[in-house]
Homo-oligomer: A and B are copies of this chain.
């Protein structure tokens, strides 16, 4: 079994980006600039945004965090997005999800200029992905593809089972893995809560990508010997033995599954850092597009 080391891989990506930024600045250019909109004080969201700011600093990007109260109206948030759309000094921005329930998430995503939508959530970018056109591929699917690419994992003709059909992970990764590309060219099955014979299906997977948000859902008896297992899940489970009071648990029973795999990701240092690196890649792309 070999661990797919997303931490190591993402460090390489960050170094590559840092080099590009240094070249830009050396030529007198301004560095790329990412903005993050944070509505309210959700603990996990605070953390995610803090990581993004830290990542930007590390590669030499400028970053701006826009903090808004959770009592903000939808119109006020839309106004802020419009401002960012028109701010020439901001190359790309994200609205950290989830946002408070009184605001329609879809309206917010639709308001983001597709050229600045570095999360790749808006319809035009999702459509470009499905059509194989240049786009911002949303961070998690992009990170998974990058991990497969950098570990040179054979995907052509393999059976890839994707557990989960979400807009931001399951569906786009299924499309990407089926595409005539490298990585890609896999026979892809999209499975979900209504899937029958899930165990049997998982056992037929050469590559198993799990993004359902159920802790340790995939057990060793569901995994074929020699399979590649990518665990996207990351659920906070209370744990008094940890300083933070919780630990992150994946969708895969790592300890028992790992022995059967050729490659596997761990809940920390796996897909997470790759997701973070992808946002930097998209921001650089947004800068280069001008």
Residues of chain A having any CB pair with chain B under 8 Å: 106, 122-133, 135, 156-159, 165, 167, 171-172, 174-175, 178-180, 185-192, 194-196, 201
CB neighbours of A188 from chain B (8 A)? 189-190
Contact across chains for B187 and A201 when beta carbons are under 8 A apart: yes
Distance in Å: Cβ of A224 to nearest Cβ of chain B: 14
Cα-based distance from A130 to B180 in the complex (angstroms): 19
Given contacts A126-B127, A127-B130, A133-B106, contact A190 B178 (CB under 8 A): yes
Number of copies of this chain in the oligomer?
A: 2
Q: List 6 A-B contacts (CB under 8 A).
A: A106-B133, A123-B126, A123-B130, A123-B135, A157-B196, A189-B189
CB neighbours of A187 from chain B (8 A)? 189-192, 194-196, 201
- Majority-rule SS of A interface residues: mixed
Cα-based distance from A125 to B128 in the complex (angstroms): 10
Cα-based distance from A158 to B197 in the complex (angstroms): 10
Cα-based distance from A252 to B132 in the complex (angstroms): 28
Contact across chains for B178 and A131 when beta carbons are under 8 A apart: no
Contact across chains for B131 and A167 when beta carbons are under 8 A apart: yes
CB neighbours of A157 from chain B (8 A)? 194-196
Contact across chains for B156 and A178 when beta carbons are under 8 A apart: no
Given contacts A165-B179, A178-B165, contact A127 B123 (CB under 8 A): yes
Besides A123-B131, A126-B127, A174-B174, 13 more A-B contacts (Cβ < 8 Å) are: A106-B133, A123-B123, A123-B127, A125-B127, A126-B131, A127-B128, A127-B130, A130-B171, A156-B194, A157-B196, A171-B178, A187-B201, A188-B189
Q: Considering the complex of A and B, which 4 residue pairs feature the smallest CB-CB distances, nearest first?
A: A127-B127, A123-B127, A126-B127, A189-B189
Distance in Å: Cβ of A81 to nearest Cβ of chain B: 17
CB neighbours of A132 from chain B (8 A)? 167
Distance in Å: Cβ of A268 to nearest Cβ of chain B: 30
Please name the residue on chain B nearest to A120 by beta carbon: B127
CB neighbours of A125 from chain B (8 A)? 123, 127
Please name the residue on chain B nearest to A110 by beta carbon: B133
Please name the residue on chain B nearest to A198 by beta carbon: B187
Distance in Å: Cβ of A196 to nearest Cβ of chain B: 5
Cα-based distance from A180 to B142 in the complex (angstroms): 24
Please name the residue on chain B nearest to A135 by beta carbon: B123
Please name the residue on chain B nearest to A130 by beta carbon: B126
Distance in Å: Cβ of A200 to nearest Cβ of chain B: 10
Contact across chains for A171 and B175 when beta carbons are under 8 A apart: yes
Distance in Å: Cβ of A127 to nearest Cβ of chain B: 3
